[in-house]
Amino acid sequence: NAGVTQTPKFQVLKTGQSMTLQCAQDMNHNSMYWYRQDPGMGLRLIYYSASEGTTDKGEVPNGYNVSRLNKREFSLRLESAAPSQTSVYFCASSEGPLLYGYTFGSGTRLTVV
């Protein structure tokens, strides 16, 4: 089992460029999440999808959009990248939105110059 797969692993963007971070899980989980991790800030929730067909904003949604393409896939889009979006992005999934532990992907390290 691959678990949660994120692509790409590394990316460098110029300010103003757009890109989509891909995430797929093969555990038949219902809920999926996008977090960003910055030094000293822990993990901050960007968007989540409690179940297929639904998405909701987290703590820091500005500058991002998401698509829950199907049960397996949850993508994160940066429409116009800014240096403040330089971070490590983690996708995670869980069986449900409440009392379940999260399985994280290996992360995407994004640098915006």
Partner 1 sequence: GQQVMQIPQYQHVQEGEDFTTYCNSSTTLSNIQWYKQRPGGHPVFLIQLVKSGEVKKQKRLTFQFGEAKKNSSLHITATQTTDVGTYFCAGRAFGSSNTGKLIFGQGTTLQVKP
Nearer to partner 1, 17 or 73 (CB): 73
Amino acid at 9: K
Nearer to partner 1, 17 or 44 (CB): 44
Nearest approach, Cβ of residue 40 and partner 1 (Å): 6
Structural element, H or E, at residue 34: strand 31-38
- 6 token code pair: 């994120």
Nearer to partner 1, 21 or 107 (CB): 107
CA dist 99 and 14 (Å) reads 40
Nearer to partner 1, 89 or 112 (CB): 89
Amino acid at 3: G
Q: In a 3-state reduction of DSSP, which class is residue 83? A: helix
β-pairing, 19-25 vs 74-78, is: antiparallel
> Which residues form the interface with partner 1 (CB under 8 A)?
31, 33, 35, 40-45, 48-50, 56, 58-59, 90, 92, 97-107
- 99 token code pair: 């009392």
